[in-house]
Chain A
Amino acid sequence: MPSTAVLLSQAFNGLALGSLLALVSSGLTIILGTLGVLNFAHGALFAVGAYTAFVMMSATHSFLLALLGGCAIMLVVGFAMERLVIRHFYARPDEDQILVTYGIGIVLVEALRAWFGGNSQRVPVPSWGVGATKLGFLVYPTYRLQLIGIVAALLLGLYLVLYRTAIGLVVRAGIENAGMVGILGIDVRRTFLLVFGIGVVAVGLAGMLYAPVVSVTPDMGASFMVQSFVVIVLGGLGSFPGAVVGGLIAGEVISLTSAFSSAYSEVMLYGLMALVLVARPQGLFGTEGRV
């Protein structure tokens, strides 16, 4: 039985992992909900984000500038992907969309490997995040605490965009019925472009923020992608609150199970998903028959 200190530490790790999963899954779920495209390149885009932080950090030596520059780069990557490839697949069958996004994912990962090599890269922890913070009952790495705060602020920002702006209104309506949004005079193609861009920036930011915590490798997004698929099923396809709550639950399940046996951490996650699907097939926040 692990000690209370270990369990507390794992609970905080779960919060950090969960908030990142929430950010990754938010991007995945709004793209799936609005565009109807399950983006299998999402994990590769996570790695692209991390490498963007690596390059920008090397160039500017400022984590903040790296984040800002990284967002701009991810937005361009997202827009280019939507315009050049994804747009041509909206009317195609699901399997075509899966194949093309999976293919893009392979191309992106191999491009990273060709460019930066297969060895891992390190992104330094920003100067304001070095060291550990005493929480009274626990000493915890400062950057990980900040990571939780930054992701919470980003998710709040995304919430405000989705629930307090006209663009968000269109996106939420589009998640339910993109065709009807078009009938109401709104050019959904422009909305789709924007949503894809926001989704890619969200996953890229998650990669950038995670980069100082782990080794940056071309394949680093693979496990995040699989876990984020579980998260959006848990939370309900196309649901932003579902992605956030599902992400936090998944993060805690993985981390707390690891305190007992790391081999079972993902087994527990899939077990939980199976239970939720039996009790509530549309997911925690999903609506029956949607997406």
Chain B
Amino acid sequence: MSLLEVEGIDTLYGDSHVLFGVSLRVEQNEVVALLGRNGAGKTTTLRTLMGVLSPRTGTIRLDGQPIHGLPPSKIARVGMQLVPEERAVFGGLTVEENLRVACLSAPKAWPLSRIWEIFPRLKERRTSRGRTLSGGEQQMLSIARALVRDPRILLLDEPFEGLAPLIVQDLVVLTKRLAAEGRTIVVVEQNVAAVLSFADRVYGFNNGHVVYEGQASALRTDPAPMRDFMGLAL
């Protein structure tokens, strides 16, 4: 049994049908990348996994327990944690308060010292309000806020989007470190080269369908499926 098993989910935004029978699985300690063009359904998949959107049909099981249809707060409590594309840092709260909110409902929350060790920059800015942070610092805080809850599965939505190349490098190093520590991660990212450098397995999306499944190592050697199945420019 996989840690996360998704079977045939259909998700709609109002009347707009976005996901069609999406199935995927994620094993413990695995980093899975969802690739595809804009609008292919990757972010919708993450939002459906988190419970922000409810699937119309299909099942989502975490450790064998069904979680589809549960509200995000309950899904977070069983160990799923989304780092949203828009980062959603609480701008009026300090860095430390942002982390403390995240700890409130987490039974095995990390001590903040562990976060400061991973993100020394956030420690320096612990009393700064979220809205005064740079884009890179906000992304770090958004990831730190998820990590501090010690999630079983981390869902990263476009973690490198809109950031300067040097910051992206730092975040890639961080994500590799998390992967090496055995953290289970599902990542959506347009920066395919960066994501293939740490992903174990890949699902390709096109028009709301899963059109490809394979090892990241295979795509590193032969990227043709990304063009053929997912319509990505190589």
Chain A residues within 8 Å of B, Cβ to Cβ: 166, 169-170, 172-173, 175-177, 179-188, 287
The answer to whether B93 and A169 have CB atoms under 8 Å apart is yes
Stretch of B59-67, B69-77, B177-185 lying at the A interface: B69-77
**A183-B72, A184-B76, A184-B149 known; A176-B91 Cβ under 8 A:** yes
The answer to whether A185 and B76 have CB atoms under 8 Å apart is yes
Does B101 sit at the interface, judged by CB under 8 A? yes
The answer to whether A172 and B149 have CB atoms under 8 Å apart is no
Stretch of B82-90, B162-170, B190-198, B212-220 lying at the A interface: B82-90
The answer to whether A169 and B97 have CB atoms under 8 Å apart is yes
Interface of chain B residues 101 through 156 with chain A (CB within 8 A) = 101-102, 104-106, 131, 145, 149
Task: Specify the chain B residue showing the minimal Cβ separation from A166.
Answer: B104
Q: Chain B: interface residue count, which band?
A: 20 to 34
Chain B residues within 8 Å of A, Cβ to Cβ: 50, 52, 71-73, 76-77, 81-82, 84, 88, 90-93, 97-98, 100-102, 104-106, 131, 145, 149
The answer to whether A186 and B88 have CB atoms under 8 Å apart is no
**A172-B90, A172-B93, A176-B93 known; A182-B72 Cβ under 8 A:** yes
Task: Specify the chain A residue showing the minimal Cβ separation from B151.
Answer: A185
B77 CB, min distance to chain A CBs, angstroms: 5
Please indicate the chain A residues that have their CB under 8 angstroms from the CB of B76 in the complex. 182-185
B160 CB, min distance to chain A CBs, angstroms: 20
Partner of B101 from the list A181, A187, A287 (CB cut-off 8 Å) is: A181
- Interface core residue of B50, B92, B97, B149 (most chain A CB under 10 Å): B92
Bound: A170/B105 CA distance, A? 11
The answer to whether B101 and A170 have CB atoms under 8 Å apart is yes
**A172-B93, A176-B92 known; A184-B105 Cβ under 8 A:** yes
Partner of B104 from the list A169, A175, A183, A188 (CB cut-off 8 Å) is: A169
The answer to whether B106 and A173 have CB atoms under 8 Å apart is no
A265 CB, min distance to chain B CBs, angstroms: 33
**A184-B149, A185-B106 known; A173-B71 Cβ under 8 A:** no
Sampled A-B contacts (29; CB under 8 Å) = A169-B93, A170-B101, A172-B90, A172-B97, A173-B90, A173-B97, A176-B91, A176-B93, A179-B72, A180-B84, A180-B90, A182-B72, A182-B73, A183-B52, A183-B76, A183-B82, A183-B88, A184-B101, A184-B102, A184-B105, A184-B149, A185-B73, A185-B76, A185-B77, A185-B102, A186-B101, A187-B71, A287-B91, A287-B92
